[in-house]
Amino acid sequence: MSESVLYHNPRCSKSRSALALLQARGVEPRIVPYLEQPPDAAALQALLRQLDLRPRALLRTGEAEYVELGLADPALDEDAIIAAMAAHPRLIERPIFVHGDRAVIGRPPERVLELLG
């Protein structure tokens, strides 16, 4: 069976819901508490490939750091955005479920089930 990983924030209702949906289907993913153990730039690049997303699509634009760091600036390159997420993990959209070589953002939480097919 493929390894399953959930980048999880236990304070987030969407993240808790995604975990509950997985567990109800017998999936016990390895939990990565990404706020305490933030992924580095290389890990974020790998996640982005699995998600098939550009870095901007993984940003939480409602966080104070988004404004403070000027991340709305369209001139910022992708490496700068990835570096900001690595340094400020609250900027990373959540939850992210990885199953095998694919990943989804669990918004809505039911999206995590797409990878279990």
Give catalytic residue positions.
12
Amino acid sitting at position 84: A
Look at residue 35 and give its three-state secondary structure: coil
Q: What angle do CA 49, 51, 55 make, to 5 degrees?
A: 70
Burial class of residue 7, CB neighbours in 10 A (0-12, 13-18, 19+): buried
* Of 104, 108, 107, residue with least CA distance to 117: 104
Dist CA 8 CA 86 (whole Å): 15
